[in-house]
């Protein structure tokens, strides 16, 4: 009933590879969900199927009560989906402020203003300022994005996804590659999110997951392996086998 995001037997096939294989997931409104799984498990591909970057080969994506399986990316964004990218995906030649302007205006008709001023209005400026503040980038707004540190770029990824005031926020490994101090910023940002926002988070860092989410879904080889509350996920033997076991191999 209150399922906000519902995946029904979603499969994404690349040639012979089933990157996502018959996955059904239900996320309630306001829930914070983590998706875990070893490298290549299909987590990012699942995000791409949810947001429309790749089309589901079969199955259905239902968002806020509407079937969006065939809707293009920008239509899903207008319905309230917002995401960050695992591989930083910003506008490198523009400034932080310009990146934010594009993020704020994505859902506003003002983006079709051909000769108007490029400045944001008061309300948009406040929102952009708040998102930059939360992401600790408010002193960097005139910097070109390509000159930001990696950590700052990751923070901007979050700020841009947040400022659209989405109903569903999808974060793809927001803390990967960050220093411990920068990870704190990321978990602060997530904690400061409005409680009615639905969040789906791909993350490898167990400590981060345990402290942030309500429920965990583990994928392996494109298939749904286990769903459990965070307190049980560590002890789950299947998860230990594929996920923690593999991590130990990698170490």
Partner 1 sequence: MASPAPNPAPDSTALPARDTGMSRLAMGAIALGALAFAVLPLILPTYQVSILTEVLIFAVLAMAVDILAGYTGRTPLCHGAIFGVSTYVVVYWTSQMGGSPYVGVGLGIAAATFVAAIFALLAIRTSGVYFLLLTLALGMIVWGVCLRWTSVTGGENGLRGAVRPAALADGFSFYYAVFAAVAVVAFVMWRFVRSPFGLTLRGIRDSESRMRSLGYNVPAHLFLAFTISGFFAGIAGALYAMFNDFVSPSTVGLSQSVEGLLMAITGGIGTLFGAFIGSFAIIGLENLVSLYTERWQSVLGAMFVLIMIFAPEGILGRIRSFVAQRRR
Ligand X SMILES: Nc1ncnc2c1ncn2[C@@H]1O[C@H](COP(=O)(O)OP(=O)(O)OP(=O)(O)O)[C@@H](O)[C@H]1O
Give yes or no for residue 53 binding partner 1 (CB under 8 A). yes
Q: Which residues between 85 and 114 bind ligand X (CB under 6 A)?
A: 86
CA distance 248 to 241: 10
Strands 198-202 and 168-172: parallel
Q: Is the separation of the CB atoms in 107 and 78 below 8 Å?
A: yes
Tell me which H or E stretch contains 58: strand 58-63
Residue with tokens 């969900």: 33
Stretch that binds partner 1, among 25-33, 87-95, 196-204, 225-233 (CB under 8 A): 87-95
Residue 52 makes contact with ligand X by CB under 6 A: no
Q: Are strands 32-36 and 198-202 parallel, antiparallel or unpaired?
A: parallel
Coil, helix or strand for 35?
strand
- The rounded distance, in Å, linking the Cα atoms of 215 and 217 is 7
Decide whether 35 or 96 has the Cβ nearer to partner 1: 96
Task: State yes or no: residue 184 binds partner 1 (CB under 8 A).
Answer: yes
Pick 142 or 250: Cβ nearer partner 1: 142
Indicate which of partner 1, ligand X, Mg ion, none lies near residue 231 (CB less than 5 to 8 Å, by partner kind). none
Q: Which residues bind partner 1 (CB under 8 A)?
A: 51, 53, 72-74, 77-78, 82-83, 85, 89-95, 97-98, 101-103, 105-107, 110-120, 125-126, 129-130, 132-134, 138, 141-142, 160, 164, 184, 188, 192
């Amino acid at each position: 009933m209150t399922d906000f995001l519902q995946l029904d037997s979603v499969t994404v096939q690349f040639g012979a590879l089933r990157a996502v294989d018959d996955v059904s997931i239900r996320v309630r409104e306001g829930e914070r969900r983590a998706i875990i799984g070893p490298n290549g498990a299909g987590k990012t591909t699942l995000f791409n199927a949810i947001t429309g970057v790749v089309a589901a080969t079969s199955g259905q994506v239902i968002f806020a009560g509407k079937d969006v399986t065939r809707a293009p990316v920008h239509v899903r964004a207008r319905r309230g989906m917002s995401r960050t990218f695992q591989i930083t995906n910003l506008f490198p030649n523009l400034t932080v402020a310009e990146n934010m302007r594009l993020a704020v205006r994505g859902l506003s008709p003002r983006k079709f203003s051909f000769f108007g001023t490029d400045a944001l209005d008061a309300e948009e400026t406040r929102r952009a300022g708040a998102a930059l503040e939360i992401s600790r980038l408010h002193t960097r707004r005139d910097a070109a994005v390509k000159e930001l540190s990696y950590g700052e770029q990751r923070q901007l990824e979050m700020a841009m996804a947040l400022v659209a005031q989405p109903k569903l926020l999808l974060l793809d490994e927001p803390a990967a590659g960050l220093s411990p101090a920068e990870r704190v910023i990321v978990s602060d940002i997530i904690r400061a999110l409005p409680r009615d926002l639905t969040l789906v988070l791909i993350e490898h860092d167990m400590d981060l997951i345990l402290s942030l989410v309500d429920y965990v879904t583990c994928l392996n080889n494109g298939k749904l392996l286990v769903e459990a509350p965070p307190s049980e996920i560590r002890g789950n033997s299947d998860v230990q086998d594929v996920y923690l076991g593999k991590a130990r191999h990698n170490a």
